[in-house]
Structure 1
Amino acid sequence: MAGPPCCPPKVPRLWPPLALPLLLASVLPGAAEPLEAEGSSPSKPLPLLRLDPGWGRLEQTLDLPAWVDLDLEVLAEPMGNPAGGLVRQASWIQQTTLALTLRVPGEPAHPAGREWDRWAMRVAIASFNGDPLYAQRLGAVLPLQEVANPVGLWLTRASLQRRSADGRWSLEAGLVSMSPDLFSTPIEDLYVHDALNGAPVLFAIPNFPVFPVAAPGALLVLRPTPASTLRLASFDLAATNAVAGLLGTASGLPPARGWTHQLQWSFAAPWLNRHLAAPIAACRDGAGLRIRQKTCAQPEQVERQLPGGLLQLAAYAGTGPNRGLYGSATAPVALPWGLDHRLWTAAAAGFDSAANPAPSYIGGGLVSQGVLPGRPFDLLILGVARTGFSPITRPGLSHEGVVELGYQVQFNRSFNLQPSLQWVLNPGGAGRVPGVFAAGLQLSFRY
C-alpha cells in the first residue's frame, strides 16, 4: 500500500456496492459439496494437494530461538506503459521489509501461559529503492505501483503488545500503523494499483499512518465472538513527519496536528464461510483438476489460497475536522471455471473535503483460484476502482479510474510472480491526459 500520494470528488453512495456480493453469496454456493469416489469407502481419506512450503523461515535458517520471529519480504514492481499518458516510460520500484517479533510462547502444559508469555515486542524497517514518481510523470495522480513510496529507510513499527490468555483481546502501543489491520480487506493485498490495494479515500490523507508511515498511538483489538473482531485505534498525526525522518528519509510529509481516532468492525459471517472450512473438493481428469459436481473416479482435495468471506464497517474522526466511513464485503461465489472464487467490493466517503484530497472511492473485483489446468494454486485477478478528487484541495479535477487484470503464478509459499495489465481512466482527473495502458510484473519473495 502506497503511503503519502494523493487524491479524489463527488461522493458515491456508500452501501449499494455491498449488496452485490451478499446477493450472490445467498444465491450461489461457495463450493461444491464433497463427493466420494465411485465404489470407495466413505471413511477413506482423500488426497490433499498443498502448495509447496517454499524455503522456510529466516529464523529457522539462522537457528534462532523459538521466541524470535524474523521475517524478510522483498517486493519488486517493474512497469512500463506502451500506450497513453504524457510520456512512454519504464520504471522500477522495490520494497524490502525486515520485521522482528520477540515473544515467549506459553508452556504446552499451561495453555494460558505465564503473565510475561503474553507480551511481545515488534520492530519493522522498510527500505525503498527505485523510482516512486512514475505515475506523476505519466500524468496520473494515484500510483500504479503498490510500493511507490519515497526512497530511503522507514521505521514502520516499534511497539509493545499485550494479549489476553484466552485470545479475546490484545493491546498494541508505540509506533504503529493503520496497515494492514484497518480500512482494507485482505483480498486487496493481491492487487498492484494503489486504488485497488486499499481505499485511497483514507490513504491519500498525507499524514495518516498508512504503511510505511507510522505514528505514536495504540490499537486495541477485541474479539467478542469467534466471527467478530472490533478494532479501536488512535494515532498522533503531529508526530508522523518526525517518525518518518528517524532513519534519515525525506518523507515529503507536510506538518500536521491533532489526532485521528478509528473504529472498525469485521464479521466473518458463518453463512458466508460455511463451505470454506474444508479444502476444495476436486476431480482429476485429462484436463487437470476441476470442481466435482457429480460422482468422480479420481477425487482429490486442494488447499484454498483465497481469504474467506468477510464484512467490514469502519469510521474515522479527527482534527480538522476529518471524518469518514468505509465498508467492504468479500463473498465466495460459484462459477463455471476454476476451483474457488471471491467477489469483493469496497466503498468509502470522506465528509470533509478540505482535509481529505480523495473524499470518495468505490471499487471491487473478482479473484479466481485454479483457472488454468495443471495450476491449481495460481490466481486470476480482476479489479476496477474509481477515486474522486476534492473540489477544495484539487479544484478542477473530477475522478481517476483503473481496471486491473493480473495472474499470480504461485511457485511456493515463499515466491510468486504476478504479471498484470492496467488501464488508467482519466489520469489526472482533468480530462487532458490520454488513458494509460501499462504492463508490469510483481515479484514477491518472503523468507
Structure 2
Amino acid sequence: MYHWAGLGIFCISWAQYVGIGTATPSQALHVAGGDVRVEGLSGTGIALVGLTPQGVTYRLDFSGSATDFLRGDGTWGPDAGDWKLAGNAGTDPTIHFLGTTDAQQLRLRTNNTERARFQVDGRILIGTTTPLHNKAVLQVQGGSTNRAVYGYKASTSGVSVVLGIATQGGGPYAGAVGYGAQASVVGTTTRGVGLVGMVGVTDFLHWDLGPGIVGTGQNYGLVAYAENTTGDRAAGRFEAPAGPGQTVRSLVSAFIGGTQYKIWGTVTGGGGTPPASTVVEAPSGQLHALACPEAPEILFFDRGEAQLAGDEIYIALDSVLAFNLYVDAVHPLYVFLQPLDRDCGLYVTERSRFGFRVRATDPGCQTRFYWWAVARRNDTYTAEGLRLSRHVGVRLPEVPVELTH
C-alpha cells in the first residue's frame, strides 16, 4: 500500500521504502529521473563523496594533479607502482623495474609483431620466438635478409667493437664462438664462414671453402701472439685428422724446450711427422711437390765453387753466416769437396766458423772444385748476453708429453 504526497512525485510505501520520481521504490531511498543535491556536500571544484564508518557522507576535495589517483586512504596522489610511457623520474633501481614477478615471459612488440622475448630463465630472443641455443643468453635471428648483429665503433681510442671474455671453469670455454650453419642447423654445411675479421677492406675470400675463421686485411690477414713468457708456447696451433686416432699438428712461431722454432710439427696418436714441402710446376703445367731436407740437429750450410792457386786456397764464409755458426772441437765445421777437374788429392785444414783452407797433395795443382760446408747454428742472445734460444747440442730433442695430446 502506498501513500502519495504532493503532486505524485513523492511516495511512501508500507514497506518503508521512499521513492522520488517513482511509484515503485525498491530501496530505502529510491530516486529516479533526476539528480540528487545535498547542500552539505556543495562547494567549488571537483570532489567525490565519502562515507564514514557510521554511514555519514562527507566531501572528498580534489587537490592534486590531473593524473593523480584516489588512494585507498582517501587521499589523492600518483600510483607509486606505475610506469609512465612518457618517462619516469625519481625511480629506485633496487625496487623499480620493467618486467614480471612470476614465472612468465616478457614480450615486446612493434606494429603488433613480436620483436623481443625475455625468457623466464633469462635468455633474450630477438627476431625469433624459438630459442636458437639452450645456453646462449642473447640470441639474435636476422631472418633471410638482415644481419643478426652489426657493430660499429667510430673513435680513435682503439676500443674493440666486440669483446668476448670467458673466465674460470674446468671445462672448455670460449670468449667468442661463430657458426656458419645451413638450414638453421649448426654443423650441417661445408660452405660459409664461422667468424670473419676485416680491416681496411670491404669483402673477404674463400667463404665457399667452409673455414672456421677468415681474416682479411691490407697488410696482414691474421695476427696471433702468445703472451706467456715461461714454458712451451706458440702463436698458432693447427691440426687436422691424419688417420684412425691420429692428428697432424703444426705449431707456428713456437718456443719448445728452450728453442725457438718457425714451424714445429708432430703427429699425435703415433707415427712420424710429415715433411715440410713446396710445390713446383712442370713445363706441362702439372704441379709436383718437393720435400725439404731435415736433420737431427739444427744446422746451417753454405756451398760454392773455387779454384786452387799455388796448391791451396782459403775459403772465407759469409760474415753474416759466420756470426750465426758455432764451431769447436766437439762441434766441428764439416766440409765436403768435389773436384771438377783432375783430382790433386784435395784436403781441408784450418776449419773455423769463419772459413777453411783447401790444399792439394800434388805440387802446382790448380784444379777447380765444388765445396759444401755444414755447421751447427749458434744460440741466439740479447745484446746483454741473455740466451733467447738454444741450438747448440740440440739433437733429436724429446717431444714434451703435453704437446702430444
TM range (shorter): under 0.3
Bigger Rg, which one = 2
Q: Higher strand fraction: Structure 1 or Structure 2? A: 1
Q: Normalising by the residue count of structure 2, what TM-score does the alignment of the two structures yield? A: 0.17
- Higher relative CO (Cα under 8 Å, sequence separation at least 6) belongs to 1
Q: Higher helix fraction: Structure 1 or Structure 2? A: 1
